[in-house]
Amino acid sequence: MTGRRGQRGTVDAVCVVRRLTPDPGSVGTTAIDKRPVEGPVKVRTLGLHGDVQADREHHGGPEQAVYAYAESDAAWWSEALGRDLPAGSLGENLRISGLDVDGARAGERWQVGGRAVLEVTRPRIPCATFGRWMGEARWVKRFLQAGRPGTYLRVLTPGEIRSGDAVTVLEEGEGPTMRETALAKGPTSARPDD
């Protein structure tokens, strides 16, 4: 047991795609440009209302419906890169503070807001599109090696999510943490093209 049941955090921002952006990858476009939205956002089986994935073969779907990233990890990257990384700039749907997102294990369940229940599925394994979006040398490798992958979640109970909502760990998961899983996979698991 990890002792995480009952731990709480806060949704700092709920982010959805702002616009599709041209990308030289195999799909030709990307939906990585996420921005915070005001008010409640419905969350259903395939993710947040108003969000989209340009490459549905590798992104989205029930197992990757919502991507959460910790504010503390974004702050770490901001300092390491010497630039601001506002909510959504890492392609995340939820920016969360006060909860170790990377310490979650597959199967861990979170209640977000009053009704929505999300389940941790896997860490983010970055692709070349993410690297191009960030514009940083060797970004995919650096992102994996840092052990700050964030986590994908499936939607078990639909609801509404808004900035300021509590995130509460309802049930603990099993196996390695998202951090351990990402570090074990290493840079060779990253897709060279999106």
Taking alpha carbons only, the member of 146, 33, 24 closest to residue 87 is 33
So where are the chain's domains?
8-189
Query: Do the beta carbons of residue 144 and residue 182 sit within 8 Å?
Result: yes
Query: Do the beta carbons of residue 144 and residue 185 sit within 8 Å?
Result: yes
State how far the Cα of 169 lies from the Cα of 4, in Å rounded to an integer: 7
- Which CATH number describes the domain made up of 8-189? 2.40.33.20
Stretches where the chain sits below pLDDT 70 are: 1-2, 54-58, 186-194
Tokens 């994908």 locate to 152
- Per-residue pLDDT at 84: 97
- Per-residue pLDDT at 191: 47
- Per-residue pLDDT at 43: 98
- Per-residue pLDDT at 186: 65
- Per-residue pLDDT at 92: 97
- Per-residue pLDDT at 1: 46
Contacts of 7 (CB under 8 A, 6+ apart): 99, 100, 168, 169
- Per-residue pLDDT at 52: 79
Tokens 């921002």 locate to 13
Output the pTM of the full model.
0.93
